[in-house]
């Protein structure tokens, strides 16, 4: 039964609006990870006002489809069939516009070379670790040789308030570091609205 479910998810998940997967495609997800994901969703906004708090990039290896992602303990490659089981919320497939497709091989090579790099629980850009959108940002930065996506000042405060979300206070306190309020960073929601990509549709 489990094998049948995985086959169904994989078969259903590899198309969006009747378009098959292509290397370099981006998948945007809204995970249910409790207060932290809720805080991210509250202060970020994605394509068509959707909530996105995780993302990865598709590539093919040995005739199998994978997603390169920064999740868990480190950057890793995950079978698409597994990636699609992370959430029951709608996931969206995006593709770089045709004039940027030539960047994809170098972006994939860079992202794959980062497999094993620790996950960036500090959420600080350029500290030798990666969170999900940060990995994609750097992959295309390396391929484009200049910023491809944009960095924005990060906020960990409740909207229209000077108070930090309690989950962020607890998180950064446990790490023994200051909350990096206002530091440059990126997020899946912001990337999903970038004019250099097209949203192809719901992947599941």
Alpha-carbon torsion 75, 79, 80, 86, what sign?
negative
Give the model's pLDDT for residue 16: 55
* Average predicted confidence (pLDDT) for the chain: 92
CATH classification of the domain holding 166: 3.90.1720.10
Number of domains the chain is built from: 1
Average pLDDT score over residue span 135-163: 97
Give the model's confidence band at 152: pLDDT under 50 very low, under 70 low, under 90 confident, else very high: very high
Residues 154 and 183 sit within 8 Å (Cβ to Cβ): yes
Residue-wise pLDDT for 12-36, tens only, equals: 444 555 568 999 999 999 999 999 9
Is it the case that residue 134 has pLDDT exceeding 60? yes
Give the model's confidence band at 151: pLDDT under 50 very low, under 70 low, under 90 confident, else very high: very high
Model pTM?
0.90
Residue-wise pLDDT for 115-129, tens only, equals: 999 999 999 999 999
Cα(56)–Cα(35) distance, rounded to whole angstroms?
A: 22
Give the model's pLDDT for residue 203: 87
Give the model's pLDDT for residue 11: 40
Give the model's confidence band at 204: pLDDT under 50 very low, under 70 low, under 90 confident, else very high: low
Range(s) of the domain holding residue 115? 2-202
| Cα separations in angstroms, 147 against 2, 64, 138, 139, 150 | 42, 30, 8, 10, 7
Please report how many Cα atoms fall inside a 13 Å half-sphere around the Cα of residue 191, on the Cβ side: 32
Residues 133 and 192 sit within 8 Å (Cβ to Cβ): no
Is it the case that residue 4 has pLDDT exceeding 80? no
Q: Could you identify the residue written with the tokens 């996931």?
A: 91
Give the model's pLDDT for residue 30: 97
Percent of the residues in the chain that have a pLDDT greater than 70, as a whole number: 90
Give the model's confidence band at 54: pLDDT under 50 very low, under 70 low, under 90 confident, else very high: very high
Q: Could you identify the residue written with the tokens 């495609």?
A: 25
């Amino acid at each position: 039964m489990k094998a049948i479910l995985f086959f169904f998810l994989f078969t259903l998940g590899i198309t969006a609006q009747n378009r098959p997967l292509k290397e370099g495609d981006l998948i945007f997800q809204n995970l249910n990870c409790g207060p932290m994901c809720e805080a991210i969703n509250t202060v970020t906004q994605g394509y068509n006002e959707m909530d996105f708090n995780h993302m990865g990039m598709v590539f093919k290896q040995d005739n199998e489809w994978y997603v390169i992602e920064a999740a868990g303990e480190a950057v890793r490659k995950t079978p698409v069939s597994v990636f699609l089981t992370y959430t029951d919320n709608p996931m969206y497939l995006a593709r770089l516009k045709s004039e940027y497709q030539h960047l994809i091989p170098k972006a994939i090579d860079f992202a794959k070379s980062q497999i094993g790099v620790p996950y960036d629980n500090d959420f600080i850009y350029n500290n030798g670790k990666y969170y999900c959108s940060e990995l994609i940002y750097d992959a295309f930065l390396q391929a484009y040789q200049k910023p491809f996506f944009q960095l924005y000042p990060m906020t960990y405060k409740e909207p229209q308030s000077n108070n930090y979300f309690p989950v962020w206070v607890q998180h950064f306190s446990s790490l023994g570091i200051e909350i990096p309020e206002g530091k440059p960073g990126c997020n899946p929601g912001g990337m999903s609205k970038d004019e250099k990509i097209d949203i192809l549709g719901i992947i599941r």
